[in-house]
Amino acid sequence: MAGNLRLKVVDEAFKRQPVAVTVPKERPSEYFAKYVFNKQKMYKYLPADVYRKMCDVIDNGAPFDRAIADAVAQGIKQWAVENGVTHYTHWFQPLTEGTAEKHDGFVEHDRKGGMVEEFEGKLLVQQEPDASSFPSGGIRSTFEARGYTAWDPTSPVFIIGDTLMIPTIFISYTGEALDYKVPLKKALYAVDKAATAVCQLFNPEVKKVVCNLGWEQEYFLVDEALFAARPDLVMTGRTLMGHDSAKNQQMDDHYFGSIPGRVENFMRDIEIQALELGIPCKTRHNEVAPNQFELAPIFEETNLAVDHNMLMMSIMKRVARKHGFRCLLHEKPFKGINGSGKHNNWSLSTDTGILLHAPGKTPLDNLRFVTFAVETLKGVLDHNGLLKASIMSATNAHRLGANEAPPAIISSFLGKTLTDLLEHVEKADEDALSVASKTAFRLDIPAIPELLIDNTDRNRTSPFAFTGNRFEFRAVGSEANCASAMLTLNTAVAEALTSFRERVDALIAKGEAKETAILKLVREDIKYIKPIIFNGNGYGEEWKREAARRGLDCETSAPLIFDRYLDEASIRMFESQNVMTRLELKARNEIKWETYTKKIQIESRIFGDLCLNHIIPVVTKYQSMLIDNVHKVMEIFPQEKAQKISKENLYLIEKISDHESFIIENVEKMIEARKAANHIDSEREKAIAYHDTVAPLLEEIRYHVDKLETIVDDEAWPLPKYRELLFIR
Ligand code: ADP
Ligand code: MG
């Protein structure tokens, strides 16, 4: 019987032992970045002048001089070959959420009949992968399938196994971005420029502002034997059916609990590999749900942090298999159990320190702090719908608004200290603004308590929370490329800061003193940003009504949320900051809708198969057994007595029939809904049809499957149950 497979894999999972980890003899600080061609290696392997030029590229954003490409490639090759490397690949981030690579060997003919290890500058700098199999949203016509990958020298090359990995950007033949990295880099440039201009109001010495990202990656581990026995997990990354386990997370006993042995070895293993690749892993712990965990490195410059997150996700998946696990990065693998997110801790800093760090040493420093906090919030308010679109996906949609993660409305939690401070600045006496004389300028900004950074009045329900020296964008999905959220946030903030500087300059031109102008505008903006500030419970029904009253975007349908990318205000923002063009935005949306449709389509197909080929046959067999039993009872007992004895079984037989017919009828209906949707030409309309007609049926049918799980003989049930998937480790 099919059920035997489940029991067999459960047994296998229970018996699995921890896999030993080889711990390096050196200390972490010694093997950190061992496989990264960082500045240290550059210093060793590159000629002095080339090394200096590379530093200028990395530190100051100087353009990469093609003339040094051969020398750089030479140095990299030498280092790589010394480390046993035989192949290289351009590593890029197409719009599929994952990463892509195409490996080539170093070997070339030496023209003497032998082979030689070759790696020229031009191979490092640029390649032309046949990109027709990556999504382009119609930018590339089929006759011009070429795309270019070009080295991003600000993200160092690294080694995995026998392969040299070269982080690259990916653009079309006609120059449009086909990846996340190009617009991210442009957004980081935009925010640097805009923030530097505002910093210079306070300190003319500031030359550069860097954006930092510290991500916290949540994930689930499931034993690989159990995983393999769940076609839905294998094909879609989430369970499409499964009744609640009697125990799940209600005891709150998993969060920060002790880490089980097999998992601990897995964590140790990924940390070692991550450290060797220069990813500064620091924190690991259990999460709220059973078998859910989190990993967080120390924050880094955003472009690098994004690459490191992409790399980390692939390390996690690979190493999990070595330990007999599968790593689930899906935002919502289990219904009724907390999903996984990826908090994006975001801040801006100059070489003098973090801009969102309070308190400053002088009132002017504090005014700068308030300016940056307020203008960030202005960007978030002006584009709250767009920011939601930047984190939305078919998979993340299950998590948002499910009373466990931020609601599907973007708002910001500031905590008491910052709220009070803004209120004070807003309401301060007009006198405070007076410029008595140039030297005796009074800035009535109160001292900000030292404790701000450690303040613990955290609000887990807020999608965009201030946490002392940074904002945490918490709505980002666990599976997502952080770049999508980061490029949108940074462009929005860049727009707010650009306009702030222009407004200050306009007031100064009218004869206003600089500080007075700044303070005046900050006070104006504090009033303006009020709708985005919400310190209450984001899960409450009341908040939904209140948010709508405030004019915040409350849309919950993913395909409609994507529309925000094409709002005129969004296009203006991206174009004015030179991040993306209208054409690029349109193309990206086509991909978003298409991806959404495909995900629901695949889920619906697998689900239909599971229902008809796995569940119904087992259920029918069980029902036949019950019918058989009733017949036999009828044979040996007088009618009245037999009726009484068989009462429960007759009830179950009927119940099973009801569930079965609902499932069969509606699977049919779901197939029809898919067919109808597939006939629609427009990607947007098709995605909407999938959202409105196909997705709801998945949920409705599931209810009946889950009910059957509680009725049918446990020995016969074919798919590993929640209690097995979630508690074996
Ligand atoms: P939490 O309490 O939110 O779980 P953690 O300490 O686990 O916080 O991680 C928070 C993340 O935020 C880490 O990656 C940390 O390096 C990062 N972080 C701390 N300060 C900043 C900052 N100023 N800017 C960006 N990221 C930061
Ligand atoms: Mg956090």
CB atoms within 10 A of CB 263: 18
138 pLDDT above the threshold of 80:
no
Same domain, 676 and 583: no
Residues 6+ apart with CB under 8 A from 630: 646, 649, 650, 653
User: Which ligand 1 atom lies nearest to the CA of residue 212?
Assistant: 25
Q: Identify which ligand lies nearest to the alpha carbon of 299.
A: 1
**Of residues 592, 599, 558, the one with CA closest to residue 683:** 592
Same domain, 589 and 601: no
534 CB near ligand 1 (under 6 Å): no
Last residue of a domain, one of 179, 209, 243: 179
**Of residues 60, 30, 62, 58, the one with CA closest to residue 46:** 58
Instruction: Note whether residue 508 is domain-resident.
Output: yes
Same domain, 508 and 567: yes
Residue 388 tokens read as: 């939601």
Same domain, 236 and 93: no
482 CB near ligand 1 (under 6 Å): no
Q: Identify which ligand lies nearest to the alpha carbon of 472.
A: 2
CB atoms within 10 A of CB 354: 19
Dihedral of CA 455/456/460/461: which sign? negative
Residues 6+ apart with CB under 8 A from 366: 358, 359, 360, 443, 445, 447, 448
Instruction: Note whether residue 15 is domain-resident.
Output: no
Residue 433 tokens read as: 């603004």
Q: Which residues of 200-234 are buried (b: 16+ CB within 10 A; e: fewer)?
A: ebbeeebeebbbbbbbbbbbbbbbbbbbbbbbbbe
What distance in angstroms lies between residue 345's CA and the mean position of ligand 1's atoms? Answer: 6
What distance in angstroms lies between residue 554's CA and the mean position of ligand 2's atoms? Answer: 24
2 pLDDT above the threshold of 60:
no
Q: What is the mean pLDDT of the chain?
A: 89
Residue 508 tokens read as: 């100064």
Instruction: Note whether residue 715 is domain-resident.
Output: yes
Residue 4 tokens read as: 């035997």
- The CATH number given to whatever domain includes residue 571 is 3.30.590.10
What distance in angstroms lies between residue 727's CA and the mean position of ligand 2's atoms? Answer: 25
Q: Is 278 left (phi over 0), alpha (psi -120 to 50) or beta?
A: left
Calpha distance 169→307 (Å, rounded) = 11
What distance in angstroms lies between residue 212's CA and the mean position of ligand 1's atoms? Answer: 10
User: Which residue's entry shows tokens 């040094």?
Assistant: 68
295 CB near ligand 1 (under 6 Å): no
536 pLDDT above the threshold of 90:
no
Q: Identify which ligand lies nearest to the alpha carbon of 287.
A: 1
Last residue of a domain, one of 179, 209, 233: 179
453 pLDDT above the threshold of 60:
no
What distance in angstroms lies between residue 467's CA and the mean position of ligand 2's atoms? Answer: 8
Same domain, 584 and 638: no
Residue type, 69: A
Calpha distance 500→455 (Å, rounded) = 29
Same domain, 589 and 602: no
Q: Which residues pair with 536 in a beta bridge?
A: none
Residue type, 485: A
Residues 6+ apart with CB under 8 A from 613: none
- The CATH number given to whatever domain includes residue 630 is 1.20.120.1560
Q: What is the pTM of this model?
A: 0.94
Q: Which whole-number Å values give the CA distances from 523 to 57, 245, 379, 408, 426, in the listed order? A: 39, 53, 16, 29, 5
User: Which ligand 1 atom lies nearest to the CA of residue 347?
Assistant: 24
212 CB near ligand 1 (under 6 Å): yes
Instruction: Note whether residue 522 is domain-resident.
Output: yes
What distance in angstroms lies between residue 42's CA and the mean position of ligand 1's atoms? Answer: 30
- Bridge-based pairing state of the strands 325-328 and 210-223: antiparallel
Could you write out the DSSP letters of every residue in 50-89?
A: HHHHHHHHHHH-PPP-GGGHHHHHHHHHHHHHHTT--EEE
717 CB near ligand 1 (under 6 Å): no
Q: Is 511 left (phi over 0), alpha (psi -120 to 50) or beta?
A: left
Q: Is 401 left (phi over 0), alpha (psi -120 to 50) or beta?
A: left
What distance in angstroms lies between residue 414's CA and the mean position of ligand 2's atoms? Answer: 14
Q: Which long-range contacts (CB under 8 A, 24 or more apart) does 503-507 make?
A: 504/201
State pLDDT tens for residues 62-76: 888 888 999 999 999
Q: Is 90 left (phi over 0), alpha (psi -120 to 50) or beta?
A: beta
349 CB near ligand 1 (under 6 Å): no
How far, rounded to the nearest angstrom, does the alpha carbon of residue 503 sit from its chain's CA centroid? 35
Residue type, 183: P
pLDDT value for 126: 85
- Alpha-helical segments (H) within 482-557: 482-509, 514-528, 541-550
230 CB near ligand 1 (under 6 Å): no
Q: Identify which ligand lies nearest to the alpha carbon of 211.
A: 1
Instruction: Note whether residue 16 is domain-resident.
Output: no
Domain span at residue 655? 596-725
Under DSSP, the state recorded for 91 is E
**Of residues 339, 231, 240, the one with CA closest to residue 291:** 339
Residue 558 tokens read as: 């993913």
Instruction: Note whether residue 336 is domain-resident.
Output: yes
Same domain, 101 and 230: no
Domains in the chain, number: 3
User: Poorest-confidence range of 213-227, 415-429, 708-722?
Assistant: 415-429
474 CB near ligand 1 (under 6 Å): no
Q: Whose CA is nearest to atom 11 of ligand 1?
A: 214
Residues with CB under 5 A from ligand 2 (ion): 343
265 CB near ligand 1 (under 6 Å): no
Q: Identify the top-confidence range among 201-215, 354-368, 665-679.
A: 665-679
| 638 class by beta-carbon count within 10 Å (0-12 exposed, 13-18 middle, 19+ buried) | exposed
Angle, in degrees to the nearest 10, between helices 302-322 and 181-202: 140
Q: Whose CA is nearest to atom 24 of ligand 1?
A: 347
Instruction: Note whether residue 108 is domain-resident.
Output: yes
More confident residue, 146 or 683: 683
Q: Whose CA is nearest to atom 6 of ligand 1?
A: 283
Instruction: Note whether residue 24 is domain-resident.
Output: no
pLDDT value for 436: 37
Calpha distance 291→521 (Å, rounded) = 49
Residues 6+ apart with CB under 8 A from 246: 723
Same domain, 588 and 618: no
Calpha distance 179→565 (Å, rounded) = 16
Same domain, 422 and 447: yes
What is the CA angle 148-483-211, rounded to 5?
A: 110
- Bridge-based pairing state of the strands 115-117 and 147-151: unpaired
Residue 192 tokens read as: 């640097």
pLDDT value for 21: 92
Pick from 191, 215, 216, 467 the residue to mutate for probing ligand 1's pocket: most ligand atoms within 8 Å of its CB.
216
**Of residues 80, 74, 91, the one with CA closest to residue 34:** 80
Calpha distance 537→459 (Å, rounded) = 8
pLDDT value for 288: 74
Three-class SS of residue 532? helix
Pick from 188, 299, 348 the residue to mutate for probing ligand 1's pocket: most ligand atoms within 8 Å of its CB.
299
State pLDDT tens for residues 17-55: 999 999 999 999 999 999 999 999 999 999 999 999 999
Start-to-end Cα distance in the chain: 26
Last residue of a domain, one of 179, 214, 247: 179
Q: Is residue 370 within 8 Å of residue 421, measured between CB atoms?
A: yes
Same domain, 563 and 690: no
Q: How many residues does the chain have?
A: 729
pLDDT value for 98: 82
What distance in angstroms lies between residue 218's CA and the mean position of ligand 1's atoms? Answer: 14
Same domain, 580 and 628: no
Query: Binning pLDDT at 50, 70 and 90, where does residue 455 land?
Result: low
| Ramachandran angles phi, psi of 85, nearest 5° | -80, 135
Calpha distance 497→379 (Å, rounded) = 8
Calpha distance 433→437 (Å, rounded) = 12
Q: Which whole-number Å values give the CA distances from 79 to 31, 34, 36, in the listed order? A: 16, 11, 10
250 pLDDT above the threshold of 70:
no
User: Which ligand 1 atom lies nearest to the CA of residue 298?
Assistant: 16
4 pLDDT above the threshold of 80:
no
299 CB near ligand 1 (under 6 Å): yes
Q: Identify which ligand lies nearest to the alpha carbon of 214.
A: 1
**Of residues 130, 137, 338, the one with CA closest to residue 252:** 338
**Of residues 572, 386, 553, the one with CA closest to residue 495:** 572
145 pLDDT above the threshold of 90:
no
Under DSSP, the state recorded for 535 is -
564 pLDDT above the threshold of 90:
yes
Q: Identify which ligand lies nearest to the alpha carbon of 348.
A: 1
Same domain, 607 and 588: no
217 CB near ligand 1 (under 6 Å): no
